[in-house]
Amino acid sequence: MLMPATENEAAGIIRAHAESGTALHLAGSGTRSGFGNAPLAETRLSSRCLSGIAAYNPAEMVMTARAGTPISEIEAALAENGQSMAFEPPDHRGVMGTSGEPTIGGACATNASGPRRFTAGALRDHLLGVRFVNGHGEVVKAGGKVMKNVTGLDLVKLMTGSLGTLGLLTEVTFKVLPAPKNAVTIVLSGLEDEIAMRAMAAAMALSVEVSGAAHLPESVRGRFIDGRLPQGAATVLRLEGLEASVTVRGEKLSKAMGAFAPVQVLDAAATSRLWRQIADVHPYADGTERPLWRVSMAPSEAWKLVAGLRLSAGVDAFYDWQGGLVWMRMEDDPAADTLRQGIRALGGGHATLLRAPEAVRATIPAMEPLSAAVTLLSERVRAKFDPRGIFNPGLMTQGART
Amino acid sequence: MSEAIAFLEPRDAVLSRRREIIEDLSELVPAGRLVHEPTALVPFETDGFIAYRRRPLAVVLPETTEQVAAVMKYCHRYGIPVIPRGAGTSLSGGAIPQEDAVVLGLSAMTRILDIDYANRCAVVQAGVTNLAISEAVGADGYFYAPDPSSQLACTIGGNIAMNSGGAHCLKYGVTTNNLLGVKLVLVDGTIIDLGGKHLDATGYDLLGLVCGSEGQLGIVTEATVRLLAKPEGARPVLFGFDSAEAAGSCVADVIGAGIVPVAIEFMDKPAIEICEAFAKAGYPLDVEALLIVEVEGSEAEMEAMLASIVEIAKRHNVKTVRESQSPTEAALIWKGRKSAFGATGRIADYICMDGTVPLSQLAYVLKKTSEIIDRYGLRVANVFHAGDGNMHPLILYNINDPEDAAKAEAAGMEILKLCVDAGGCLTGEHGVGIEKRDLMRHQFSDVDLDQQMAVRSAFDADWILNPSKVFPLEGRS
Ligand SMILES: Cc1cc2nc3c(=O)[nH]c(=O)nc-3n(C[C@H](O)[C@H](O)[C@H](O)COP(=O)(O)OP(=O)(O)OC[C@H]3O[C@@H](n4cnc5c(N)ncnc54)[C@H](O)[C@@H]3O)c2cc1C
């Protein structure tokens, strides 16, 4: 494993590999090393040693950190100033069965966003600027260090979620926000998936600023916060903000939601644990390799996909993002074709196979296949960053594996 | 007319085929959707950056995505430059054409295709105006958040191309944060869908790349945008300070205290005077700087937030505090700010600059700005989005005096360089267009810029889409 200590050293390594056309597996700490298809590269190049917070001014709500900085270090620095990352990066060590210290570079490369994504935006919405080494071994900067910036093409968006196929991130600058001072969760009990979706949509139509909306069917409900959620499926709605705001909004929301189901309220401590566990896909962090899908669809449609699949396959599922994000665990066969056809039939979206036994993964593209025109365009874009294709070959497009 | 900014040489191969091209185009769009008579082309010669104008070869105003695709396919085949255009309100010259170009206007595509409350989104054609979206859903308690001051006129397609923002984007973000998907016609006429009603995408974030690309990567014909539930209430408060420094550090402390208002707008003394003379909003005239801070929520929430903000302002020796007691009063406070451009236009010609700076540099940059302006013997009024450091110096000059115009342009460029040197960037919302094209090398190294240009080439290898814009003319590959 190559672990350069400086950006220059990293650029030198990449230049040498570009010249010889030798592939590199880019990584942070490897806590998501199972994500995507397995890259066809012998040598791992890690940004782990490019570490440390480079600049942080709480009053400007901006932080700059080197890519290998542990997320825990960033969270600690933010907490000291009453701030946090609004995109709530999830910890997928549990579901992925990995260990190590997740890095901010890895979070950016995977666009890791948690439950607040459907209102506050994804990590990509908070990333202001990056530095990276491209496939020529050149150091490129994109974006800036200020909140608003429309100067030139937004390469920052392109780098976010590119899974290390366009370049090695060396430094990232992102927006941070005041950490909510208080939070509560309103729990509706016993709703069927379909009604739960309607209840969540109704909650989002109110002016109470719901910042988390998930539906946890009875099959998973008991696996959250030590089984302390009330009996039956739990539809959970989070409110966050200043002390006074949360109380007022909580009352308003409880009253409105009473029309759908019996309502209970969880306090700040339970709220914090519950949403951490939702982000981290806690119910399926069970040490198994049973196929796990992450599906993103229109919130009104996702439950239909699950209902349809249940007729032909063993499926366990729960919903985040107002119902639009489905975490789906299959009993045996990953049912990739049925699943992806179902998504298309219901108006589109995408499914990513996060986890499955090695033999199964080798036969199924982990990422949703793109249309021919978008594939072509993506390949042309990629060639502009990494013409020799040395970064994580095969990871995004399984076609390149064979 | 100022001539400091160059355009690409028109292609002879295109100019010499003018008649033929017009004939061919007339077969691709319905009757009445092709403009080519010289007098009829005049309105398309420029946009909101009126110091420059060029007469295009022709203008097409398609009604469907398929017609847009047919026009693109044709122009691509013959190497004819295409300038996408919405309402033409760009302040950086983004929609200004050139002699060998076809302007592809989306202003006839004004249908709202789908309003979907269950998924909190709307699908609209690119020519729908920004305000029309909020108006269509307002009665049901929803709105579309990005609110550029030009929202009555500007189109969602133009907003996407410029990644436009507005006064309330401190809380709600800019266009890119509120965009779920687009239908895009690529340079060769291929139609693709990026995003949709679901969140995020597999593969590269091409949607994020297209947003803010200034009409260089493709033509947006439809957009899926996020709708939000309207807040229960909103209330602006006006604060007057003795110095820009005091106002600036008040902003920093409000944010440091964990309060993120929906808007924090700043005006300096000249801006206050200009706006007050026009809007009679009751702005204090004995202060050096004014902040409009708006909070949202229920009565109780607004009370609590405002109490903390007022407390902080007092620590910075605030001179005037005016809380709006009624919707009428609230509207009046905003009226002054919102009429800033119009009011300034009544007393002089002006160019509106648009740089961003880190909040800690605000006071310094304001001071330096006035030094630069003094040196050129001009006047400036500053009104801007303080919460995110997006400065808008309005440089006053006389458009009929070429010397004055050249000075204003030069002073503007110096101010933008100052923003970059202070750790900010060239443009926070108006885009690079032709205006700031030649300053790009001040913010980016050759390597940075080459990477951007290479990505642009991946979409449009022959550079026929809006070719004179964004990137310096020299050094293009
Ligand atoms: C008085 C005034 C106030 C303003 N206030 C603000 C403000 O507060 N915030 C702000 O951000 N901006 C502001 N602007 C600038 C301007 O309104 C925005 O840039 C707006 O988004 C432009 O929209 P438009 O429809 O007029 O686009 P146009 O001016 O027609 O075009 C702008 C750019 O977008 C491209 N384009 C247009 N439509 C498409 C399409 N469908 N597909 C691909 N490319 C396209 C054009 O090629 C051009 O590069 C203001 C302008 C004025 C005149």
pLDDT digits (tens, 9 = 90+) for B205-236: 999 999 999 999 999 999 999 999 999 999 99
Is B228 in a helix, a strand, or coil?
strand
Shortest alpha-carbon distance between residue B470 and chain A (Å): 6
Mean pLDDT confidence for B174-184:
98
Q: Say which residues have a Cβ less than 8 Å from residue B363's Cβ, sequence separation at least 6.
A: B243, B244, B245, B248, B249
Give the confidence band of A26 by pLDDT, cuts at 50, 70, 90: very high
Q: Which atom of ligand 1 is nearest to the CA of B220?
A: 42
Q: How far is CA B241 from CA B41, B164, B318, in A?
A: 48, 29, 5
CB neighbours of residue B93 within 10 Å:
27
B198 part of contact set with chain A, CB < 8 Å: yes
Which residue intervals of B280-361 are DSSP H helices?
299-315, 327-338, 340-347
Name, in order, each residue with C-beta under 8 angstroms of B373's C-beta and a sequence gap of 6 or more. B379, B380, B393, B395, B411
Identify the pLDDT of residue A399. Answer: 45
Residues B359, A297: C-beta atoms closer than 8 Å? no
How close, in Å, is residue A162 to chain B by CA atoms? Answer: 6
CA distances from A381 to A265, B163, B184, B213 (A): 49, 21, 16, 15
Q: What is the Cα–Cα distance from B122 to B116, expressed in whole angstroms?
A: 6
- Across the interface, do B297 and A152 touch by the CB < 8 Å criterion? no
* Helix or strand (DSSP H, E) at B407: helix B402-421
Per-residue confidence (pLDDT) for residue B1, from 0 to 100: 44
Q: In one letter, which amino acid is B226?
A: R
Please report which confidence band the pLDDT of residue A401 belongs to, taking 50, 70 and 90 as the band edges. very low
The partner residues of A103 in beta bridges, in order of sequence, read A70
Distance from CA of B250 to the nearest CA of A (A): 10
DSSP A253-267: HHHHHTTTS-EEEE-
Residue A363's identity, in one-letter code, is T
Q: Which residue has the tokens 């937004």?
A: A154
Does the CB atom of residue B341 touch ligand 1 within 6 A? yes
Beta bridge partners of A234: A189, A216
Size of chain B, expressed as the number of residues it contains: 477
Mutate to test the pocket of ligand 1, among B49, B60, B149 (most ligand atoms within 8 A of CB): B149
Q: At residue B477, does pLDDT exceed 60?
A: no
Enumerate residues 6+ apart whose C-beta is below 8 A from A260: A188, A191, A195, A198, A199, A202, A235
Confidence of residue A156 (pLDDT cuts 50, 70, 90): very high
Confidence band (pLDDT; 50, 70, 90) for A242?
Answer: confident
Which DSSP symbol is given to B81?
-
Interface with chain A: mutation pick from B174, B204, B301, B457, highest number of A CBs within 10 Å: B204
Q: Which two tokens stand for residue A103?
A: 């890095």
Q: Which of B67, B68, B89 to mutate to test the pocket of ligand 1 (most atoms within 8 A of CB)?
A: B89
Strand, coil or helix: A383: helix
Point out which residues pair with A133 in neighbouring strands.
Answer: A139, A168
- Burial zone of A15 (CB within 10 Å; 0-12 exposed, 13-18 middle, 19+ buried): middle
**Mean pLDDT, residues A86-115 taken together:** 93
Please indicate whether residue B254, judged by its CB atom, sits closer than 6 Å to ligand 1.
no
Compute the distance from residue A315 Cα to the ligand 1 centre, in Å: 48
Which pLDDT value is given to residue A165? 96
CB A8 within 8 A of CB A52: no
In the numeric block, which tokens belong to residue A113? 């966003």
**CA B195, CA B222: separation in Å to the nearest integer?**
11
Q: How many CB pairs under 8 A join A and B?
A: 273
Is residue A197 within 8 A of residue A323, CB to CB? The reply is: yes
Helices (H) and strands (E) in chain A, counts: 15, 17
Per-residue pLDDT at B100: 97
Both structure tokens of A387:
């013409």
- Determine the distance separating the centroid of ligand 1 and the alpha carbon of B48, expressed in angstroms: 9
Contact across the interface for A125 and B197, Cβ inside 8 Å: no
Q: Taking the mean position of all CA atoms in its chain, how far away is CA A400?
A: 24
Average pLDDT over residues B62-85: 98
Amino acid A97: pLDDT: 87
Helices and strands counted in chain B (H then E): 17, 20
In contact, A177 and A84? CB cutoff 8 Å: yes
Asked if B356's CB is within 8 angstroms of A146's CB, the reply is yes
User: Among A125-139, A370-384, B23-37, B347-361, where is mean pLDDT lowest?
Assistant: B347-361
CA gap B113, B310 in Å, rounded: 45
Query: Hey, what's the torsion of the CAs at B398, B404, B410, B411, to 10 degrees?
Result: -70
CA atoms within 13 A on the CB side of B112: 15
Hey, whose CA ends up nearest to atom 23 of ligand 1? B158
Task: Give mean pLDDT, residues B188-210.
Answer: 96
Subunit contact B427:A381, Cβ cutoff 8 A:
no
CA proximity to A331, closest of A302, A290, A283, A279: A290
- Pick the atom of ligand 1 nearest to B94's CA: 49
Q: Which atom of ligand 1 is nearest to the CA of A150?
A: 11
Is B456's pLDDT higher than 50?
A: yes
The pair of three-digit structure tokens given for residue A22, joined into one six-digit string: 């030798």
Structure tokens at A35: 């994500």
Q: Is the pLDDT of residue B2 over 70?
A: no
Q: Are B136 and B115 in contact (CB under 8 A)?
A: yes
CB of B169 within 6 A of ligand 1: the answer is: no
- Whether ipTM exceeds 0.90: yes
* Selected residue of A149, A156, A206, A353 to mutate for chain B interface (largest B Cβ count, 10 A): A149
Question: CA-to-CA distance for B331 and B316, rounded, in angstroms?
Answer: 26
pLDDT band at A30 (very low <50, low <70, confident <90, very high): confident
CA distance B28 to chain A (A): 23
Residue with tokens 């982000």: A279
In this prediction, residue A402 carries a pLDDT of: 30
Q: Output b/e per residue, A32-65; b: 16+ Cβ within 10 A.
A: bbbbbbbbebeeebbbbbbbebeebbbbbbbbbb
**What is the whole-number distance in angstroms between the Cα of residue A196 and the centre of ligand 1?**
40
The pLDDT tens digits of the residues spanning A178-232 come to 999 999 999 999 999 999 999 999 999 999 999 999 999 999 999 999 999 999 9
Ligand 1 atom with the shortest distance to the CA of B342:
1
Mean pLDDT, rounded, for B27-43: 97
B128-150: pLDDT as tens digits: 999 999 999 999 999 999 999 99
The Cα A390–Cα A263 span in angstroms is 54
> A83: nearest CA in chain B?
B258
Question: CA angle, A241 as apex, A240 and A242 as ends, to 5°?
Answer: 145
Q: Is the CB of B355 under 6 A from ligand 1?
A: no
What's the mean pLDDT when you consider all of chain B? 95
CA dihedral angle for residue B352, residue B472, residue B191, residue B26, rounded to 10 degrees: 80
* Percent of chain B residues topping a pLDDT of 90: 86
- Predicted pLDDT at B416: 97
Assign residue B265 a region: left if phi > 0, alpha if psi is -120 to 50, beta otherwise?
A: beta
How much distance in Å is there from the Cα of B337 to the middle of ligand 1? 20
Residues 6+ apart with CB under 8 A from B37: none
Q: For residues A89 and A110, what is the distance between their CA atoms, to the nearest angstrom?
A: 10
* A371 Cα: distance to centroid of ligand 1 (angstroms): 30
Half-sphere CA count of A183, side-chain side, radius 13 A: 20
CB of B91 within 6 A of ligand 1: the answer is yes
B213 contact A CB<8A: yes
Long-range Cβ contact pairs of B327-331 (< 8 A, separation 24 or more)? B330/B234, B330/B235, B330/B236
pLDDT reported for residue B3? 64
Q: Label residue A123 exposed, middle or buried (CB < 10 Å: 0-12, 13-18, 19+).
A: buried
Instruction: Output the DSSP codes for A13-30.
Output: HHHHHHHHT--EEEESS-
SS3 B171: helix
What is the B87 CA–ligand 1 centroid distance (Å)? 7
CA distance A317 to A331: 11
- Is B243 part of the contact surface with chain A (CB cutoff 8 Å)? no
Give whole-number Cα distances, B270 to A147, B149, B263, B383, B395, in Å. Answer: 26, 20, 21, 9, 11
Is this model's pTM higher than 0.80 or not? Answer: yes
Instruction: Decide if pLDDT at B107 tops 70.
Output: yes
Farthest-apart Cα atoms in chain A, separation: 66
Give A169's pLDDT tier (boundaries 50, 70, 90).
very high
Best probe residue, ligand 1, of B71, B102, B150, B437 (max atoms within 8 Å of C-beta): B150
Dig out the tokens for A176 from the structure: 């941070």
CA–centroid distance, B151 to ligand 1, in Å, is: 9
How many Cα atoms occupy the beta-carbon half-sphere of A293 within 13 Å? 36
Residue pLDDT, tens place only, A46-72: 999 999 999 999 988 999 999 999 999
Closest in A83, A245, A300 to B118, CB measured: A300
Q: What is the mean pLDDT of residues B191-198?
A: 97
Tell me the C-alpha to C-alpha distance, in Å, between residue B54 and each of A273, B38, B106. Answer: 61, 12, 19
Average confidence score pLDDT of chain A: 94
Q: What is the tens place of the pLDDT at every residue in B357-414? A: 998 898 899 999 999 999 999 999 999 888 889 999 999 999 899 999 999 999 999 9
Query: How many angstroms away from the CA of A227 is the closest CA of chain B?
Result: 30
Q: Which residue is closest in CA terms to ligand 1's atom 15?
A: B90
Q: Which of residues 254-293 of B touch A (CB under 8 A)?
A: 255-260
- Weakest mean pLDDT among A21-35, B91-105, B190-204: A21-35
Q: Is the pLDDT of residue A391 over 90?
A: yes
Does residue B306 sit at the A interface (CB-CB below 8 Å)? no
Instruction: Pull the structure tokens for residue B176.
Output: 């890119």
Report d(CA B451, CA B447) in Å as an integer.
6
Q: How large is the average pLDDT for residues A125-134?
A: 98
> What CA–CA distance (Å, rounded) separates B259 from B246?
18
AA letter at B420? V
**Contact B72 CB / ligand 1 (< 6 Å):** no
Which H or E run contains B113? strand B112-116
